Homo-oligomer: A and B are copies of this chain.
């Protein structure tokens, strides 16, 4: 049994979903873990994680539209608005999605299904430098 960890930096340029499946799989290859547990953790409260279909970009478009309509931006809607109209909606959208994900590793690969990709869901309007911590434990 051994473990390893790293931090991925993802630069985001506005609201949207940024796939980072490739970065996770590449790192996992370098660690050389045959069986174990991979954890993905987002160190922010206005960006989050999700796993979704990575075949059709329309899925990302529709996801964003849905969250934009569900969690409205508006100056009178929230008390917490120091950083602009996208501030509090970003926190709420983060709560509705994921901050951590756990993926079993079998035969040296994360057990993602055929259509599953890992995404950072950026909820802020302006450029951000995001940190996603990866940790794996196993043998």
Contact = CB atoms under 8 A, between A and B. Distances in A.
Which of under 10, 10 to 19, 20 to 34, or 35 or more describes the interface residues of A?
A: 35 or more
B41 A62 contact: no
B138 A104 contact: no
Interface of A: 1, 3, 5, 35-37, 39, 41, 43-45, 50-53, 56, 58-59, 61-63, 66, 70-71, 78-80, 82, 88, 91-92, 94-104, 106, 111-113, 115-116, 131, 133-135, 137-139
A18 B45 CA distance: 16
A136 to B, nearest CB: 9
Given A37-B137, A104-B135, A52 B45 contact: yes
A81 to B, nearest CB: 8
